[in-house]
Amino acid sequence: MHFSHLKRRDFITLLGAAAAWPLQAGAQQPAKTIGFLGQSTRSAASEWVAAFVQRLRELGRIEGRTITIEYRWAEGRDERFAEIAAEFVRLKVDIIVTSGTPQVLAAKHATSVIPIVFAGAGDPVGSGLVASLARPGGNATGLSTQSTDLAGKRLEILREAVPGLRRLAILANMGNPAATLEMNEVRAAARTLGLEVITLEIRRGEDIAPAFEALRGRAEALYVAIDALANASRIRINTSALGARLPTMHGSRDYVEAGGLMSYGPNVPDLWRRAAEYVDKILHGAKPGDIPVEQRTKFDFVVNLTTAKALGLDVPPMLLARADEVIE
């Protein structure tokens, strides 16, 4: 087309496009928007966010340049998950990224079209997030943390750390299907080990203090089911456990940093790095329903020796030797 045939309006449009090119790293399509549904708080998840953003950057997707990330923080409150998911649908984000079963369920409830990537879900098939691990089938895919499968292993470690353990308390958020499944697994494992079980069922942060009050003197150790509410309240939970002289077992390292005794589970920053790779695939045009859910095979065992000392607990040297990390 000769220049003379261009209408002035088209020419101005062309100029505008040319001016925008350098911003979009060599004429790429406009920046894609990621809706980041954070399960707890920005400060609690800073390490996870850093791992996610760093991996995206390595894949050439740079925040503020080729991608925009809209962060929203739910502070472990169930009703916020639905509000944030609905907001992301209104904002027409290109992809929703989150972790935790209730969060994924809230996102799936809000949209069957926008792809959803989860950096971790305890039992994606059992909780109905995906049809199968090999063929998720819907608009969600990501990483399974096998929280339910690890329950037995966590109990074995706890028994080694607390010799003569007879009565076990389990704290779980009953509003989270994955935490409920995990609690049932722990119960079953405890039964085969001949342990007596006391369950502390919470649904909100306000339930934590009364739960510990009711527990007074009735247990010798506490198992905390992994969950956004527990995560957002992890300092309060561990302070209360220490006050009650209860050794605790958790599902990830961040609880142990917050004063928990031990954790056994996947490396969470690692899960977020992998989640970034899922995001990249989907932004390249892959359908979430076709990308298999990955199951973690490597788990970290972390021990907090400061907490052990405060509890007057001698962690057996054989157990310490097996730890991937000892916090002192």
Which pLDDT does position 101 carry in this prediction?
Answer: 92
Residue 40 φ then ψ, to 5°? -120, -110
Can you tell me the distance from the alpha carbon of 212 to that of 171, in angstroms, rounded to the nearest whole number? 9
119 torsion bin: left (phi>0), alpha (psi -120 to 50), beta (else): alpha
Q: Which tokens belong to 148?
A: 């339910």
Residue 182: which residues within 8 A CB-CB, separation 6 or more?
Answer: 122, 123, 147, 148, 151, 172, 225, 226
The DSSP 8-state label assigned to residue 52 in this structure reads: H
* Gyration radius from the chain CA atoms: 23
Helix (H/G/I), strand (E/B), else coil: 301:
strand
Domain annotation for the chain: domains and CATH numbers: 21-145+268-295 (3.40.50.2300), 147-265+300-327 (3.40.50.2300)
Q: Which tokens belong to 123?
A: 């039992």
For the cut 70, the answer to whether the pLDDT of residue 1 exceeds it is no
Amino acid identity, residue 222?
L
Residue 298: closest CA among 271, 321, 266, 322: 266
In contact, 246 and 216? CB cutoff 8 Å: no
For the cut 80, the answer to whether the pLDDT of residue 252 exceeds it is yes
Which pLDDT does position 17 carry in this prediction?
Answer: 52
Which pLDDT does position 28 carry in this prediction?
Answer: 52
Mean pLDDT value of segment 40-46: 85
Can you tell me the distance from the alpha carbon of 287 to that of 317, in angstroms, rounded to the nearest whole number? 48
Residue 46, class by beta-carbon neighbours within 10 Å (0-12 exposed, 13-18 middle, 19+ buried)?
exposed
Confidence at 45, pLDDT banded by 50, 70, 90: confident
Which pLDDT does position 76 carry in this prediction?
Answer: 82
Cα dihedral across residues 78, 37, 154, 189: positive or negative: positive
Residue 308: which residues within 8 A CB-CB, separation 6 or more?
Answer: 247, 261, 314, 315
Can you tell me the distance from the alpha carbon of 99 to that of 189, in angstroms, rounded to the nearest whole number? 26
Which pLDDT does position 16 carry in this prediction?
Answer: 53
Note the pTM of the prediction, 2 decimals: 0.84
Which pLDDT does position 29 carry in this prediction?
Answer: 61
DSSP 167-235: EEEEEEETT-HHHHHHHHHHHHHHHHTT-EEEEEEESSGGGHHHHHHHHTTS-SEEEE---HHHHHTHH
For the cut 70, the answer to whether the pLDDT of residue 6 exceeds it is no
Top pLDDT among 45 and 261 is at 261
pLDDT in tens, 172-184: 999 998 899 899 9
Residue where the block lists tokens 């984000």? 93
For the cut 50, the answer to whether the pLDDT of residue 233 exceeds it is yes
Enumerate the β-bridge partners of residue 34.
Answer: 69, 95
Confidence at 24, pLDDT banded by 50, 70, 90: very low
Q: Which residues of 143-157 are buried (b: 16+ CB within 10 A; e: fewer)?
A: bbbbbbebbeebbeb
Which pLDDT does position 40 carry in this prediction?
Answer: 86
What percentage of residues in the chain have a pLDDT greater than 90?
A: 80
pLDDT in tens, 51-61: 999 999 999 99
Confidence at 13, pLDDT banded by 50, 70, 90: low
For the cut 80, the answer to whether the pLDDT of residue 14 exceeds it is no
For the cut 50, the answer to whether the pLDDT of residue 26 exceeds it is no
Can you tell me the distance from the alpha carbon of 247 to that of 261, in angstroms, rounded to the nearest whole number? 6
Residue 180: closest CA among 266, 117, 102: 102
